[in-house]
Amino acid sequence: MYKCERQDEILSLLSETEYATVDYLARKMNISSSSIRRDLKNLEERDYIDSHREVSPLTQAPDAVVLDNSHMTMQDQLEWLKDLITERFGC
């Protein structure tokens, strides 16, 4: 599996759960823990570079809505979104 494929899979697995250990990701992907650590470090560096580059840095849009779902279940996230839609659009 190529590095970009591994990183996509890591991000996919992380989007499905609130918390994941390196060992959990390694078992799910059937690769070594050191590969997971290396890919996580690379993702972190990539995000930093993308948000701090001089030309066209990635930034949060002024009207962006931020959801920190670090400690939310999927149901909590859906409720949060429903509340936001009701608040914004009266639906």
> Same domain for 68 and 85?
yes
CA atoms of 90 and 86, how far apart (whole Å): 5
> Same domain for 67 and 26?
no
CA atoms of 4 and 1, how far apart (whole Å): 8
> Same domain for 48 and 9?
yes
Q: What is the CATH number of the domain that holds 34?
A: 1.10.10
> Same domain for 68 and 89?
yes
> Same domain for 70 and 31?
no
Per the structure, the complete domain to which residue 87 belongs is given by 60-91
Here the tokens at position 2 are 């190529």
> Same domain for 36 and 17?
yes
What's the pLDDT score for residue 74? 87
Q: For the segment 20-77, what is each residue's pLDDT rounded down to a tens digit?
A: 999 999 999 999 999 999 999 999 999 899 999 999 998 888 988 888 887 888 899 9
> Same domain for 10 and 45?
yes
pTM above 0.85, yes or no: no
